[in-house]
Structure 1
Amino acid sequence: MTTRDIAFRKMNGLGNDFIIVDARTGPLGLMPPDIARIANRETGIGCDQFIALLPGKNGADVFMRIFNPDGSEAGACGNATRCVADILGSETGKRDIVIETIAGQLPSVIHADGTVSVDMGAPRLKWDEIPLAEEFHDTSGIELQVGPIDAPVLHSPAVANMGNPHAVFFTADIDAHDLAAIGPVLENHPMFPERANISIVQVIDRTHVRARVWERSAGLTLACGSAACAIGVSAVRRRMTERKLTVTLPGGPLLIEWRESDGHVIMTGPVTHDYDALIPHTLLPETAA
Structure 2
Amino acid sequence: MRIDFTKMHGLGNDFVVLDGRERLLPPLDSGAAAALANRHTGIGCDQLVVLEPSQIADMRMRIFNADGSEVEACGNATRAVGLLHGRSARIETLAGVVSACPVEAGISVEMGTPRFDWDAIPLSYPMDTHAMPVAWEELTNPVAVNVGNPHVIFFVADPHAIDMSRLGPMIETDPLFPERINVNVAAIVARDAIVLRVWERGAGLTRACGTGACATAIGAMKRGLVDRRVTVALPGGALVIEWREDGGIVMTGPATEAFRGSFDPADFGIVV
TM tier relative to shorter chain = over 0.9
Do the aligned residues in 1 keep the contact of 2:28 with 2:270 (CA within 8 Å)?
Answer: no
Structure (1/2) with the larger strand percentage: 2
Q: In the alignment, does 2:2 pair up with 1:5?
A: yes
Partner of 1:225: 210
Q: In the alignment, does 2:180 pair up with 1:195?
A: yes
Do the aligned residues in 2 keep the contact of 1:34 with 1:283 (CA within 8 Å)?
Answer: no
Identity score, percent:
46
Q: In the alignment, does 2:248 pair up with 1:283?
A: no
Partner of 2:125: 134
Q: In the alignment, does 2:58 pair up with 1:61?
A: yes
CA distance in structure 2 between the partners assigned to 1:248 and 1:181 by the alignment: 22
CA distance in structure 2 between the partners assigned to 1:80 and 1:281 by the alignment: 22
Partner of 1:160: 145
Partner of 1:150: none
Residue 286 of structure 1 and its aligned partner are, at CA, apart by 5.8
Residue 144 of structure 1 and its aligned partner are, at CA, apart by 1.5
Give the counterpart letter for 2:188 in structure 1.
Answer: V
SS at match of 1:29: coil
CA distance in structure 1 between the partners assigned to 2:178 and 2:147 by the alignment: 16
- Give the total of aligned pairs: 271
CA distance in structure 2 between the partners assigned to 1:27 and 1:154 by the alignment: 44
Deviations 1:193-228 (A, max 9, x none): 100000000110100010000000000000000010
When residues 27 and 191 of structure 1 are mapped into structure 2, their CA distance, relative to the original with a 3 A threshold, is: same
Partner of 1:31: 29
Q: Give me the TM-score of the superposition, normalised by structure 1.
A: 0.91
Q: In the alignment, does 2:34 pair up with 1:50?
A: no
Q: In the alignment, does 2:85 pair up with 1:88?
A: yes
CA distance in structure 2 between the partners assigned to 1:52 and 1:286 by the alignment: 14
SS at match of 1:195: coil
Q: In the alignment, does 2:75 pair up with 1:78?
A: yes
Give the counterpart letter for 1:233 in structure 2.
Answer: I
Do the aligned residues in 1 keep the contact of 2:11 with 2:207 (CA within 8 Å)?
Answer: yes
Do the aligned residues in 2 keep the contact of 1:166 with 1:196 (CA within 8 Å)?
Answer: yes
Give the counterpart letter for 2:80 in structure 1.
Answer: C
CA distance in structure 2 between the partners assigned to 1:286 and 1:131 by the alignment: 33
Larger Rg: 1
Q: In the alignment, does 2:97 pair up with 1:105?
A: yes
Do the aligned residues in 2 keep the contact of 1:37 with 1:283 (CA within 8 Å)?
Answer: no
Residues 184-193 or 275-284, more deviating: 275-284
Residue 280 of structure 1 and its aligned partner are, at CA, apart by 4.2
Matches within 5 A, 1:108-257: 108-111=100-103, 113=104, 115-136=106-127, 138-147=128-137, 153-257=138-242
Residue 268 of structure 1 and its aligned partner are, at CA, apart by 0.2
Partner of 1:264: 248
Segments of structure 1 that go 5 or more residues without pairing to the other structure are 148-152
When residues 286 and 102 of structure 1 are mapped into structure 2, their CA distance, relative to the original with a 3 A threshold, is: closer
Matches within 5 A, 1:15-30: 15-24=12-21, 25-30=23-28
Deviations 1:58-89 (A, max 9, x none): 1x111000001111100000000011011112
